[in-house]
Amino acid sequence: MRPSSYLGIDISRDFLLDSTRRLAADYPWLEVHAACADFCCNMALPDGLCCERPVGFPGSSIGNFDPKPLKIFFVDCILCYPPAADCW
């Protein structure tokens, strides 16, 4: 697997920028983006991001939710992705 782009999302701006800068340096062929955001708030992907098969990894964030808010979180994640037709 060789992804074409990566979007790091974290609430900690300093951690996020440090991590994405290192990732970009280690993988110069990878298009790296960063979005300082809180998973608990209405989050939107930056304009212009698009890929054929987006993959999300919420990490330990899912452990911060009770079942009902967790369902809302996953629905919000799905709604963040643009319609597939916009990507092709």
Domain segments of the chain as ranges: 5-87
pTM of the model: 0.69
What is the secondary structure of 61-88 as a DSSP string? GGGGS-HHHHHHHHHHHHHHSPPGGGG-
User: Rg (Cα) of the chain, in Å, rounded?
Assistant: 14
Residue-wise pLDDT for 11-42, tens only, equals 899 999 999 999 999 999 998 988 888 777 76
Residue-wise pLDDT for 38-71, tens only, equals 777 766 666 666 666 666 777 777 788 888 988 8
Nearest CA to 2 out of 27, 25, 35 is that of 27
Domain 5-87 fold is Rossmann fold (3.40.50)
